[in-house]
Amino acid sequence: MDKKIKIYIAGHNGMVGSAIWRTLSEQGFTNLLGVSSKELDLRDQKAVREFIARENPDVIIDAAARVGGILANNDYPYQFIMENMQIQNNLIDSALQNNIDKFIFLGSSCIYPKLAPQPLKEDYLLTDTLEPTNEWYAIAKITGVKTCQAIRKQFGKDYVSLMPTNLYGTYDNFDLNTSHVLPAMIRKFHEAKENNNAPVTLWGSGTPMREFLFVDDMAKAVVFALENKLPDYLYNVGTGQDLTIKELAETIQKITGHKGEIIWDASKPDGTPRKLMDVSKMHELGWKHQIQLEEGIQKTYDWFLQNIEKFKQVKM
């Protein structure tokens, strides 16, 4: 592939988008385009259309989204469904209107039914009801997947959707009001360690099982989709390995050096009992994750410590 092709990465300042930018740069791609949300509001249809028409990229990678954990999804359902649909619809339609042949749409494993058989296969999409705690985000992402599939079917363009499992890594969100479980645990255990190894209270029972993928591995999956024309419209991206939330907590506790007690607040929701991805389709094509969980958590914790001053400004 020509390393000078123009690639627009929507959401390039976020955890996923910045990892994609780094990975593309490391692999020699030189014509990368990114604009901040202050420069371009992706919810603004007119502004997005004008931007895409003016810049005319060869490829669009949609890593832009409003994201958050159970608490944020529960408190802001309208924003989670509407803003995500606005962002993706504006980007996808602008790509089609400007005859852009390649579009990579990023979603989430939460698009699959709450009680779908494990591991989650791409074929399980729309076969049952969603997890209520994040259905607003999930419905928006399902709409994006089906829109890209429709364009693929009707116009023959290479629009593909990648559905990652739970992502974590450098540039993660450590705000306890909006963050996901893994970075929230890193911050909680670190601050409790600093507070004389105070007890750490965590939501739920600790029994649900989750799969985690280091964000740099996700970025490599995006590059794989960029450099190859994938034969299907939807692919899971993950490790194919999971662990209980309790095991995750104990792993993070060990890495951060916290010596205190872990208290499980069973009055809080657990969410989906299990979300393990079937990643056999990507494996068959040649992509596989490289960074194991403990290594990835250590990298993330190291980055957190290097940037801890700015996180201190965001109170618990």
166 labeled binding residue:
yes
Residue 282 is inside which H or E element, if any? helix 280-285
33 is in an annotated binding site: no
Query: How many angstroms separate the CA atoms of 212 and 241, rounded?
Result: 8
CB of 25 closer than 8 Å to CB of 49: no
Q: Would the annotation count 15 as a binding residue?
A: yes
Q: Which of 153, 176, 177, 180 is nearest to 164 (CA)?
A: 180
Asked if 281 and 235 count as a contact pair (C-beta separation under 8 A), the reply is yes
User: Is 108 marked as a binding-site residue?
Assistant: yes
Is residue 238 annotated as involved in ligand binding?
A: no
Residues 23, 227: Cα–Cα separation, whole Å = 13
109 is in an annotated binding site: yes
Pairing status of strand 212-214 against strand 262-265: unpaired
Asked if residue 28 belongs to a known ligand binding site, the reply is no
Residue whose C-alpha is closest to residue 293's, from 141, 150, 186, 176: 186
Consult the annotation and say whether 188 binds a ligand: yes
- 213 among annotated binding-site residues: no
Tokens coding 35: 């604009």
- Find the largest Cα–Cα distance for the chain: 61
Whether residue 167 is annotated as binding a ligand: the answer is: yes
Alpha-carbon distance 79 to 86, whole Å?
10
Q: Is 73 annotated as a binding residue?
A: no
Of 8, 76, 124, 137, the active-site residue reads 137
Q: How far apart are CA 138 and CA 132, in angstroms?
A: 10
CB 111 within 8 A of CB 125: yes
Check whether 210 is labelled as a binding-site residue. Answer: yes
Q: Is 137 a catalytic residue?
A: yes
> Does residue 159 sit in helix, strand or coil?
strand
**Residue 277 assigned as binding residue:** no
307 is in an annotated binding site: no
Tell me: is residue 270 an annotated ligand-binding position.
yes
Whole-angstrom Cα distance, residue 9 to residue 60? Answer: 6
User: Nearest CA to 218 among 144, 299, 164?
Assistant: 164
Q: Is 164 labelled as part of a ligand binding site?
A: yes
Q: Which helix (H) or strand (E) holds 184?
A: helix 181-194
In the annotated binding site for substrate, the residues are 188, 203, 210, 270
- List, as residue ranges, the binding site for NADP(+): 11-17, 106-109, 141, 164-167, 180
Could you give the residue numbers annotated as active site?
A: 137
Annotated binding-site ranges: 11-17, 106-109, 141, 164-167, 180, 188, 203, 210, 270
